Amino acid sequence: MPLLTKSQKRTIISALRSSDMRAVDQKYNEPARLWCNEEWVTAGCLRCTDPRCMKFIDAEINCRHFPDFSYERDLNVCPAGAIKWNFDKELPEIAEPSSDYTDIPINHVNLEAHKLFIRELDKIHWNHQFQKETDGIMERIYQDISQFDGRSMVPNILVRNLIIAWNHECAKSRTGDVYTRMDAVYSSNLKPTCKGVVEIEFGRDTLEASRSILDDIAVMHSRNNLDKNDNAALVVCLSFPNKRQGYFQVIKDINRVLGLKIQTISLGALLLLVWNGAQVNFLSREFYVDFDNLSIRGITEFRLNRRINLSDGKLGILEPEK
pLDDT tens for each residue of 145-181: 888 877 778 888 899 999 988 888 888 887 666 566 7
CA 146, CA 139: separation in Å to the nearest integer?
Answer: 11
Residue 62 pLDDT grade (very low, low, confident, very high; cuts 50, 70, 90): confident
Q: In this predicted structure, which of 17-26, 148-157, 179-188, 286-295 has the lowest mean pLDDT?
A: 17-26
pLDDT score, position 179:
62
In terms of C-beta density within 10 A (0-12 exposed, 13-18 middle, 19 or more buried), how is residue 179 classed? exposed
Global pTM reads: 0.76
pLDDT score, position 13:
46
Query: In Å, how far from its chain's centre is CA 88?
Result: 31
Q: Is the pLDDT of residue 317 over 80?
A: yes
Mean pLDDT of 96-114: 44
CA 107, CA 91: separation in Å to the nearest integer?
Answer: 17
